[in-house]
Amino acid sequence: MDEWIVLTGAGVLGLIFGSLLNVIISRVPSMTETKLRAEAFELLNMEAPDRPTLNLFVPRSHCPACQTPLNPLHMVPIVSWILLRAECADCGAKISARYPLIELIVCLLAVLAVLVAGVSLESAILLIGTSLLVALATIDLEQGLLPNELSYPLLFLGLVSAVLFPTSAFVAPVESGVIGAVVGYVSFWLINHAFRLVTGRDGMGEGDFKLHAAIGAWIGWELMPYMIVFAFSIGLIYALLQLVKRTYSFTAGIPFGAFLAFSAIITIFLHDQLYAWTFLRS
């Protein structure tokens, strides 16, 4: 009974954290754009036009269609989406299924983190790290972006976790994580450089380099090839589905960063098992 109470509590906290993650997913790209615009105006020695304040707290959560601030009761994770039948209470505009889906995914990650690491600082960091990966994957799928504002904390958190939990079953040792971060960035940079020499254009962006480095800090260099296999497998399935639906674009490519992020989550939770099976099996 006590275990069920703990897991239920973890699930509820996961739903709440998932709701916050939805805010991050929705606002970080716009915040990044605002920052880049301001830097561009400064570089051109021009005065930037006034723009409304936008951060994770201001303005209040609102309907994207009518801009009406949400009633606190309407911000209850998943429940409000169901009760409102996926519509805004004021204007009736459809609410994306992405919101409850993200909340449900983070809820499951919270329960899984507590199951494998107990109620501990390690499980909290595990949840934060995997949630950042979910946010990066979602933003890449929706907008083709991998914001530094999420990739850098993910990298830092992976390296700090290696120091805090040297015997963790989910984070690589410090040496392996540092090498993984370097290999992650350099390997993708070299691949992209070779691609540019052959085709005259980039095959991936710097966001992919940085995300790969952050993932390397978490899983270590030894497991990176297996994570890449997972990512390519997911990417292949995605591309095949797009071809079947006749919506695939060879010029637009695929959001590979999203597949990296999903594969990293799998690798993180299976880290110890993969390492044992690959390197320690007698």
CA 267/CA 228 separation, integer angstroms: 10
Give the pLDDT of residue 53: 76
Contact 126, 117 (CB under 8 A): yes
Give the pLDDT of residue 281: 45
Residue from 65, 54, 116 nearest 88 by CA: 65
What are the CA-CA distances from residue 117 to residues 58, 176, 234, 271 (Å)? 35, 21, 27, 13
Residue from 251, 32, 54, 62 nearest 135 by CA: 32
Question: Does the bond joining 52 to the residue before it have cis omega, within 30 degrees of 0?
Answer: no
DSSP 112-146: HHHHHH-SSHHHHHHHHHHHHHHHHHHHHHHHS--
CA 241/CA 248 separation, integer angstroms: 8
Tens of pLDDT, residue by residue, the chain (282 residues): 588 899 999 999 999 999 999 999 999 998 888 887 877 887 888 877 777 777 787 777 877 778 788 777 777 778 888 888 888 878 888 888 999 999 999 999 999 999 999 999 999 999 999 999 999 999 999 999 999 999 999 999 999 999 999 888 889 999 999 999 999 999 999 999 999 999 888 888 899 999 999 999 999 999 999 999 999 999 888 888 888 877 666 666 789 999 999 999 999 999 888 877 765 444
CA 256/CA 158 separation, integer angstroms: 21
What are the CA-CA distances from residue 68 to residues 27, 65, 89, 112 (Å)? 17, 8, 9, 36
Distance between alpha carbon 214 and the CA centroid of its chain, in Å? 11
Which H or E run contains 32? helix 2-43
CA 202/CA 208 separation, integer angstroms: 12
CA 86/CA 231 separation, integer angstroms: 32
Q: What are the φ and ψ backbone dihedral angles of 70, each rounded to 5 degrees?
A: -80, 140
